[in-house]
Amino acid sequence: MKNKLTDLNDHLFAQLERLGDESLEGEKLKAEIERGKAITGVASQIIANGRLVLDAEVAKSDHQLKFTPKALAAE
């Protein structure tokens, strides 16, 4: 499975819609809030990883790196 940042965006907006459901109450609401926290935690890590890759690409293009990390060499 190949996910894209647009997929992440879709998941985040779907979660936002679920949290906006005014019929959720009690345990169902608490469960959805916990689910939302888990989703945002994973999303934060995905975004941080993407930022790291972007920063590495910028450094590579600016000739700040004297070597190419294996993760970037495959491109």
pLDDT tens digits along 5-40: 899 999 999 999 999 999 999 999 999 999 999 999
**Per-residue confidence band for 45, with pLDDT thresholds at 50, 70 and 90:** very high
Q: What is the pTM of this model?
A: 0.69
Tell me the domain boundaries of the chain.
Answer: 5-73
| Extended strands (E) in 7-71 | none
Average pLDDT of the chain is: 86
CA-based nearest residue to 42, from 8, 7, 1: 8
Q: What is the pLDDT of residue 73?
A: 63
59 has pLDDT over 90: no
Query: Each residue of 10-39: b (16+ CB within 10 Å) or e?
Result: eeeeebeeeeeeeeeeeeeeeeeeeeeeeb
